[in-house]
């Protein structure tokens, strides 16, 4: 007798005897609150970054930027909402105030806001316009309020907390329902501070008095969730990177007390005592605010899909940022990429190929249809397949009516009863035998596996290990369309261009003359020699059989680094000049900060800036945050040409670009004044110059 028939017989017996059926599994471990359960259902929503930084081409404002710069002539929050809705997102969080202190609403507690800008003669309110647009388009609305304020004179003193809470009260009182409030973890440092122009440091664990601040939030917005990276444990957690992914093992648990390390943020804690799920925040461009230099660096559809599968597909939510342009609009490229990504996600998961399949299970709780395997296919979140108490390993098999092609496997736990699964395996019955097509660790709210398209007559999910009897609420079998990504382009120290693509099969074509590549353009089959001067490379992947054409990648390179050297460093420093982001160099010895790195360009150039790539290892120490740059023509007499900070480099390890007045030089001296962890042994992945 097949296991799928047992529940039916069991229910009939219960009806005849009048005996009650088996009880539902009891919750195991920490479980989500009602607010967190609602948040889990959102999965994918937008960030909006827009402030004075948009007009000054900065990452972080210093706090002294002129409010009169803010004048978005074409701002239409309904356009933002339309793009977000068409992209398949369910909400948006607006940076109402970033670290520079400028407020996008006419706050009653500061003059540093839109009310003193020329936009709408000081009568505008970005927060209100977006809140109303969200209600019109059926989107949830959230706000970002930076606890750090580089403009306010009282920052660092007790008086500032009153100011901060007054602003928080405005945002949570005057704009309707707020689904999430976002408190950035950046805090303390150099700032304008009302004209003091100094460095201030606070203790983020105590200064903001988070327990009372949280109490205020929950009183004003009872259905809200709180995100915070800088203090007491909130409802949601950061994942330790802004690159768009969380760990493949991802528990929605942390401990309520105690310090949190990077591995804990990235993977959660299997035995944590509190439900604190992960939110993956990343930008559609390298930086959070709009920079014209990034117009050709918008994430491709393939990369956005990668972020979706590495967040939503790993038991997290994806918060994708749109940097708003100075005119108040979303760049057309950003909008088109996000909308296309959303459409592919919708098409991929619109049809569950498992529907109609016969479901069997190795164990069914009490042999009752209330917990049978067919419940994992009915699209009801409150029904599920479960097993008897004490059973920690079990399997569920789906038999299709006919051989079926697919390349995605989706599985969900009934998280209202806790997160349980520790390891699982997925197999397909192909050519008369079972073949493993994927395996994973945690499941949680949603887990999606990707693999090459195959055709099978059966699929089997096996729970290999679980903290408690598994409770599976949904299984999905899906077929995603093929997507070609843009090639990656780098230039090595010898001056050769290398063009690479992950896909096997497509041909890569390129140009060096500024024209758009096509099938008629040269094909990249190995290193491409170039001159020692500047070069602009464009490349595209084209499927030679199906005709599919991927997005074009454009990469501009400055002068060749063939003659460059580091006079006082060993051969390992060549990693700084190889053009790759997966290699890095670390200073072997240092007497402390400041620490100097001297580069000989081999001959004189007219320099107008420099750029560097931080170590891409999120656990790396010695990442430079403040710097000076000196230049020289002979390596002896030095002139300082620039100084400043690499804002947010701790979290966002993108290329850091700095410009200065053009000056002739052969030697550069990068002086590290401060690092993310005060380590004097500075580390870098790559360094380059900009010539006039």
- For the segment 237-257, the average pLDDT, to the nearest whole number, is 95
Distance CA(96)–CA(212), nearest Å, equals 21
C-alpha closest to that of 450 among 429, 476, 412? 476
Estimate to the nearest angstrom the gap between the alpha carbon of 654 and the chain centroid. Answer: 13
Per-residue pLDDT tens for 8-37?
444 433 433 444 568 999 999 999 999 999
- Provide the CB-side half-sphere exposure for 558 (13 A, CA): 17
Q: What class, spelled out in words, does domain 34-345 have in CATH?
A: alpha beta
Per-residue pLDDT tens for 632-663?
999 999 999 999 999 999 888 999 999 999 99
| Fold topology of 352-478 | Jelly Rolls (2.60.120)
- For the segment 357-385, the average pLDDT, to the nearest whole number, is 95
Strands (E), 479-534: 488-491, 497-500, 507-511
- Provide the CB-side half-sphere exposure for 597 (13 A, CA): 24
Cβ-count burial 572-593 (b if 16+ within 10 Å, e if not): ebbbbbbbbbebbbbbeeeeeb
- For the segment 32-51, the average pLDDT, to the nearest whole number, is 98
Distance CA(460)–CA(434), nearest Å, equals 9
Residue 295 confidence (pLDDT) above 70: yes
C-alpha closest to that of 461 among 388, 375, 397? 397
Indicate the helix (H) or strand (E) that contains 642: strand 639-645
Distance CA(239)–CA(243), nearest Å, equals 10
User: Does the model's pTM come out above 0.85?
Assistant: yes
Tell me, what's the pLDDT at 150?
Answer: 97
**CATH code for the domain defined by 571-691:** 2.60.120.260
- For the segment 3-12, the average pLDDT, to the nearest whole number, is 40
Q: How far is CA 439 from CA 149, 398, 406, 512, in A?
A: 46, 17, 16, 43
Tell me the residue length of the chain.
Answer: 692
Residue 327 confidence (pLDDT) above 90: yes
- For the segment 571-591, the average pLDDT, to the nearest whole number, is 88
Residue 128 phi/psi, 5-degree rounding, is -65, -40
Mean pLDDT, the chain, integer = 94
571-691 shares the fold of 352-478: yes
- For the segment 211-218, the average pLDDT, to the nearest whole number, is 96
Structure tokens at 130: 């977006």
Per-residue pLDDT tens for 165-205?
999 999 999 999 999 999 998 898 899 999 999 999 999 88
Distance CA(422)–CA(465), nearest Å, equals 5
Residue 365 confidence (pLDDT) above 50: yes
* Residues 50, 56, 61: CA angle, nearest 5 degrees: 70
Distance CA(12)–CA(2), nearest Å, equals 16
Tell me, what's the pLDDT at 458?
Answer: 98
Instruction: Name the residue ranges covered by the structural domains of the chain.
Output: 34-345, 352-478, 488-557, 571-691
Per-residue pLDDT tens for 523-533?
999 999 998 89
| Fold topology of 488-557 | Immunoglobulin-like (2.60.40)
- For the segment 142-150, the average pLDDT, to the nearest whole number, is 97
- Cβ pair 499, 491 in contact under 8 A: no
Residue 354 confidence (pLDDT) above 90: yes
Tell me, what's the pLDDT at 456?
Answer: 98
Tell me, what's the pLDDT at 589?
Answer: 76
């Amino acid at each position: 007798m097949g296991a799928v028939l047992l529940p039916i017989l069991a229910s009939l017996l219960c009806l005849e005897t009048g005996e009650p059926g088996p009880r539902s599994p009891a919750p195991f471990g920490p479980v989500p609150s009602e607010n967190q359960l609602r948040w889990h259902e959102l999965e994918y929503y937008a960030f909006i970054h827009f402030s004075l930084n948009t007009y000054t081409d900065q990452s972080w404002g210093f706090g002294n930027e002129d409010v009169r710069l803010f004048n978005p002539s074409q701002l239409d929050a309904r356009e933002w909402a339309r793009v977000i809705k068409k992209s398949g997102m369910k909400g948006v969080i607006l940076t109402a105030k970033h670290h520079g202190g400028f407020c996008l609403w006419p706050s009653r507690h500061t003059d540093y806001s839109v009310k003193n800008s020329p936009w709408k003669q000081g009568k505008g309110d970005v927060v209100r316009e977006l809140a109303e647009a969200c209600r019109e388009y059926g989107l949830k609305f959230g706000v970002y309020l930076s606890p750090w304020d580089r403009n306010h004179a009282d920052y660092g003193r007790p008086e500032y907390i009153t100011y901060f809470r007054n602003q928080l009260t405005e945002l949570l009182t005057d704009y309707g329902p707020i689904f999430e409030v976002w408190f950035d973890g950046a805090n303390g440092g150099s700032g304008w501070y009302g004209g003091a122009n100094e460095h201030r440091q606070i203790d983020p664990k105590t200064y903001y008095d988070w327990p009372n601040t949280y109490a205020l939030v929950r009183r004003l917005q009872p259905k809200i969730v709180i995100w915070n990276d800088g203090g007491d444990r909130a409802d949601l957690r950061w994942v330790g990177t802004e690159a768009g992914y969380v760990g493949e093992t991802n528990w929605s648990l942390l401990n309520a007390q105690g310090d949190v390390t990077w591995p804990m943020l990235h993977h959660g804690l299997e035995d944590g005592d509190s439900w604190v799920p992960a939110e993956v925040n990343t930008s559609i461009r390298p930086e959070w605010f709009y920079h014209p230099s990034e117009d050709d660096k918008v994430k491709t559809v393939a990369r956005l899909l990668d972020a979706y599968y590495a967040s939503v597909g790993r038991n997290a939510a994806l918060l994708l940022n749109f940097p708003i342009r100075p005119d108040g609009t979303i760049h057309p490229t950003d909008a088109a990429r996000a909308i296309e990504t959303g459409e592919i996600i919708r098409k991929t998961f619109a049809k569950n190929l498992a529907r109609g399949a016969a479901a069997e299970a190795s164990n069914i709780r009490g042999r009752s249809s209330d917990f049978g395997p067919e419940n994992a296919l009915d699209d009801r979140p409150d029904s599920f397949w479960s097993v008897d108490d004490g059973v920690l390993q079990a399997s569920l098999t789906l038999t299709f009516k006919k051989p079926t092609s697919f390349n995605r496997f989706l599985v969900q736990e009934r998280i209202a009863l806790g997160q349980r699964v520790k390891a699982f395996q997925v197999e397909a019955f192909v050519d008369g035998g079972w073949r493993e097509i994927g395996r994973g660790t945690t499941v949680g709210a949603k887990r999606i596996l990707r693999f090459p398209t195959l055709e099978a007559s059966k699929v089997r999910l096996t729970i290999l290990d679980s903290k408690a009897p598994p409770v599976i609420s949904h299984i999905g079998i899906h077929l995603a369309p093929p997507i070609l990504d843009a090639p990656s382009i780098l230039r090595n120290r010898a001056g050769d261009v290398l063009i690479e693509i992950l896909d096997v099969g497509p041909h890569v074509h390129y140009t060096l003359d500024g024209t758009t590549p096509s099938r008629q353009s040269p094909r990249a089959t190995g290193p491409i020699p170039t001159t020692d001067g500047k070069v602009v490379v464009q490349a595209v992947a084209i499927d030679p059989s199906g005709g599919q054409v991927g997005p074009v990648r454009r990469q501009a390179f400055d002068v060749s680094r063939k003659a460059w050297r580091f006079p006082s460093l060993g051969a390992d420093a060549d990693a700084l000049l190889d053009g790759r982001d997966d290699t890095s160099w670390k200073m072997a010895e240092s007497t402390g900060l400041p620490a100097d790195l001297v580069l000989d360009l081999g001959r004189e150039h007219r320099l107008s800036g420099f750029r560097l790539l931080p170590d891409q290892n999120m656990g790396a120490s010695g990442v430079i945050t403040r710097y000076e740059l000196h230049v020289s023509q002979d390596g002896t007499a030095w002139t300082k040409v620039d100084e400043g900070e690499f804002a947010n480099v701790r979290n966002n390890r993108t290329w850091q670009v700095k410009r200065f007045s053009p000056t002739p030089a052969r030697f550069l001296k990068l002086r590290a004044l401060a690092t993310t962890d005060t380590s004097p042994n500075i580390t870098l992945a790559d360094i380059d110059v900009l010539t006039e």
